[in-house]
Amino acid sequence: MTNHPESPSTHVVVLLGSFRADSYNRRIAERLQSEAPAGVTVEIVTGLPDLPFYTEEIDNDSDLPAAARALRLRVAAADRVLAVTPEYNGTMPAVLNNAIDWLSRPYGVGALKGKPFAVVGATPTRFGGKWSHEDARRSATVAGAEVVPDLVLSHSTLDADVFEDPEVFAQFLGALVTLADHRPAAEVAA
Ligand SMILES: Cc1cc2nc3c(=O)[nH]c(=O)nc-3n(C[C@H](O)[C@H](O)[C@H](O)COP(=O)(O)O)c2cc1C
């Protein structure tokens, strides 16, 4: 997870909170991927709906669902985790919440433990997914992630033109760079 000088790139895994075919947030994630700066690779996880709902009864070596095992491995191998998500009824969509649950276990050593984590996204309302993003940050914190405290970026006036607006994507890309530059305190001290 560390970004040592000899590492060729910072690998960011995106957890996508919408699986709608024409999702605005999917388009944001794809733009972040296609316009990622040198030294940053972006992998988008679109398969969160394939995860069964979390229950401890299937969270063991013999019953662990393949989708959960694969997600844990992908996140464990990432340098950074970025949730790109809309808001549903004042909180994060269930697929994202469920993914964080899977990534929070085994307790104390889940794939999110110590992982730099941030949230961005967009909705068509004037709040831009504020509560969703707050809740995702809180949930990831409880799961042991190192949530990037000063990275709060949402956009609230979605329409087709917004994707042609370089200002908007400069802001989202700036957030990605901030995330890529982020170093855990222990790493800075080392
Ligand atoms: C069930 C449901 C609940 C929603 N609740 C909210 C909400 O609380 N706040 C908000 O800003 N938008 C809300 N929306 C609107 C979504 O933000 C909007 O549909 C958005 O385009 C979804 O993101 P996507 O385009 O990436 O799929 C809701 C939409 C649905 C379908």
- What would the pLDDT profile of 6-36 be if each residue is shown by its tens digit? 556 889 999 999 999 999 999 889 988 988 8
Does the beta carbon of 23 lie inside 6 Å of ligand 1?
yes
In the structure encoding, which two tokens stand for residue 68, read together?
A: 């959960």
* Nearest ligand 1 atom to alpha carbon 128: 11
Does the beta carbon of 98 lie inside 6 Å of ligand 1?
no
- What would the pLDDT profile of 159-189 be if each residue is shown by its tens digit? 767 666 777 777 777 787 787 787 554 454 4
Instruction: Calculate mean pLDDT across residues 87-112.
Output: 97
Cα–ligand 1 centroid distance for 176 (angstroms): 23
CB proximity list for 45: less than 8 A, separation 6 or greater: 13, 14, 15, 16, 71, 74, 99
What one-character DSSP code corresponds to residue 109? S
Single pTM value for the model: 0.89
What confidence category does residue 69 fall into, taking pLDDT thresholds of 50, 70 and 90? very high
| CA distance to 5, 17, 47, 57, 140, per residue, from 60 (Å) | 37, 26, 21, 7, 22
Higher pLDDT, 151 or 148: 148
186 SS3 class: helix
